Amino acid sequence: MKVVVVSAGLSSPSSTRLLADRLAAATLQHVDAETEVIELRELATEIAQHFVTGFPPARLAAALDAVAAADGLIVVTPVFAASYSGLFKSFFDLIDKDALTGKPVLLGATGGTARHSLVTEHALRPLFTYLRALVLPTAVYAASEDWGEEGLAQRIARAGAELARFTAPATLPGAGTAPDVDTAAAIAPRSPTGAITSVDPADGFVTVPFEQRLAALRVP
């Protein structure tokens, strides 16, 4: 089992990388997995070359393959102009359109002020929903004043547990052999037929008609 961490921080050391590392550590408290960190600043030249030539250099090709093969993703970007960074978006523009379908993705972002805290919902979540990823309910934003605060630690712990649940649900204490179907149905993208895409322990992703979901919610 493998969790891939994509960090778009530009400095070294980087608060973006620090948040990515803490999210990975929180996930590994609940699941036995191999982790790989992809630092996008080290691939900036290769990303630009790919856009110009149409062919990825070897290091970039390896990073794209790692993301496609991952059992779960942690993606963290600094905030630029109230959105994700251009480097972050450029990397995911190069991902195959089907590579993230159904893949659990934990979102994270860092910024200098709490005023950008909704960037995970207004920018990151729509991007990965478009890519048909299974975007987890808890996204973590860390402003400069959040570091060292209990609230950030709690959000990181909750997000890590969620990613662990969807990459290897049976490894969580008290978990059965099946994924959390109801939660998966609530956060998974809607299918082109207008039904809700859910998780089935035997068949993977299945389509559940709206009428069936609504009937289950009705009080007898």
pLDDT digits (tens, 9 = 90+) for 131-162: 999 999 999 999 999 998 889 999 999 999 99
**DSSP, res 191:** P
Q: If 0-12 CB within 10 Å is exposed, 13-18 middle and 19+ buried, where does residue 67 land?
A: buried
From its phi and psi, is residue 44 left (phi > 0), alpha (psi between -120 and 50) or beta? alpha
- The fraction of the chain above a pLDDT of 90, given in percent, is 68
Q: If 0-12 CB within 10 Å is exposed, 13-18 middle and 19+ buried, where does residue 57 land?
A: middle
Specify the pTM.
0.77
Matching residue, tokens 């948040």:
19
What is the maximal distance between C-alpha atoms in the chain? 62
Tokens of 58: 């070897």
pLDDT digits (tens, 9 = 90+) for 107-131: 999 999 999 999 999 999 999 999 9
